[in-house]
Amino acid sequence: MPSLPPHVDTAAFGRDFRWSAATAAFQIEGARTADGRGRSIWDDFVDRPGAVLDGATGEPGPDSWNRWQEDVSLLATLGVDRYRFSTSWTRVQPGGRGSAAGAALDRYSRMVDALLAAGIDPFVTLYHWDLPSELEATGGWLQRDTAFRLAEYAQLVVDALGDRVRHWYTINEPVSTSLQGYAIGELAPARQLLFGALPTIHHQLLAHGLAQRVVRDAAAGEVGIVNNHTTVLPASGDPGDLAAAAAYDLLHNRLFADPVLRGEYPDAGAFGFPELPVEDGDLALIGARSDFYGVNFYNPTRVGAAPEGSPIPFELLPVDGAPTTGFGWPIVPGALTELLVRLRDDYRDALPPLIIGENGASFPEPDEADHVLDDRPRIDYLAAHIDAVGAAIRDGADVREYTVWSLLDNFEWAHGFSQRFGIVHVDQRTSVRTPKASFAWYRDLIAAARG
C-alpha cells in the first residue's frame, strides 16, 4: 500500500476541509438510449467519422447508468466527503424543452439517497457539456434563449432533488465550451468561429446566473459556478510576449471570473475582441454573490506573441523543462498556488470561498487490468498539487475543498478511451472496475488529514 509522500503536509487542511471525487454524466453513464434519453451535441460529435481519436462513443465505458451502486461503494471505501457528478440534460429533458423524464429523475434520486446513506454529500453539476442537439440546431450557446432553457432544466432537477442535494455547480468550464467547442472546434459542437464564438461566454454566464437563482429561490443549499483556470506564463519579458500573455489571460480567465465576481466584464476592446451581447440586468444576475467559486486546474499555459498573419493575438508554447502528463500537459504544481493566491489578491472581498472542482492527470495505462496498477506518476502529480493547495491556504487563500478528477477512467471527450484520469481503472469493454494504487493513496491521505 503506498505511503504518503513526505511533502504532503496534511496539517495545512483543517478538519472542516472537504475531500471529493468527480465524474460527469456523458463520460461515465453509457446507455445512450436508456430511459428515453435524447441526443446531445456529444452524440452528434462521436457519430462523426474521425472526430474521436480512437473512434470510441462512450459505450459501454463505466456503464454507470446501470452500475451506479458500484460507484457509491467505491466512494464509501474511499472515504470522501462529497461526490461531484452531473445530471444529464438530455436524460432529464430529452429535447431541451418541456416536461421532465420521470425515469431519469428517479434514477438520480435513488443514487442521491444511496450516497446520503453512505455518509457522502451529493454535489450536483447541472450542466457538464451535454447540450441537447435540438437546442444546438437553433444556435446553441450562440443564442440567448439557451440560457433560459438551461434555467428551465435546472428547475426540474432542483424540484426533484433539492430537498436532499445541498451543493450545486451551475455550469462546468464555460471557457472550454466557448474556446474549444465554438472557437476552434476541438470539442462539441465542433464549430470554428474564432472570436465569433465570444457570445457563448455571455450566454453561459447568464445561464449560470439564472440557474443560481433557481437554486436560491428553492432554498436548496449552496451554489456556484466552476471554471477551468490557468496560470499564464509569458514566454519572455519582451513587450510582445507580455501583451500576448495579457490577451490570453483575459480570454481564458478574466472574461469568465470578472463578471461572476465583480459584476462587470474587463475591457477587451484593447485586444480587438468584439463586445459581448449584454442586456440590462444581465450583469447584476451574473454577478450575484455565489456561495463558492469553483476552480478546475490541470496546468499552466505559456504564451508568446503570435506569428505574423495569425488570426489570434497569441501563440501557445511548451513550458520548457517541465515534465508532462499523457496529454502532454506541463506539470507545474506551483502554478496552482500562484493561481489561488492571485484570485485572492485580485478579487479580495468579492471572492467567496474557493473549491478545487477538478484536478488530476492522465498517464499511459493498459486497457485491461487483472491487478492493482501502480500509478506512481499520478500519485506524485496529485500529491504535489494537493501540497500546492496547502501552500495557498497557508498564504491566506480560503480554499475549502479538493476534488480529484476522476473517480473512474472515463470517456475523455475527443480523445475517447485513449486517456485515463481515473483512480479506478475501468475496462471500457466490460466495465469492470479495479482500484489503482492512487485510490488507496487518496483514501489514506483523506484519513490522515482528518487525524
Q: Which residues are the active-site residues?
A: 173, 358
Written as one string, the DSSP assignment of 171-217 is EE-HHHIIIIIIIS-SSTT----GGGGTHHHHHHHHHHHHHHHHHHH
Written as one string, the DSSP assignment of 384-423 is HHHHHHHHHHHTT--EEEEEEE-SB----GGGTTS----S
For residue 27, give the amino acid letter.
Answer: Q
Return the closest-CA partner of residue 56 out of 33, 80, 30: 30
- 343 contacts 274 by C-beta, under 8 angstroms: no
Q: What is the CA radius of gyration of the chain?
A: 21
- 121 contacts 166 by C-beta, under 8 angstroms: yes
199-217 vs 145-161: helix crossing angle, rounded to 10:
30
Task: Report strand pairing: 222-228 vs 293-296.
Answer: parallel
Rounded Cα–Cα distance for residues 86 and 16 (Å): 24
Rounded Cα–Cα distance for residues 274 and 224 (Å): 27
Neighbouring residues of 451: CB distance < 8 A, sequence distance ≥ 6:
15
Helices (H) and strands (E) in the chain, counts: 15, 13
Rounded Cα–Cα distance for residues 211 and 296 (Å): 20
Q: Tell me how far CA of residue 290 lies from CA of 144, 306, 360, in angstroms.
A: 22, 36, 25
Residue keyed to cell 473512434:
55
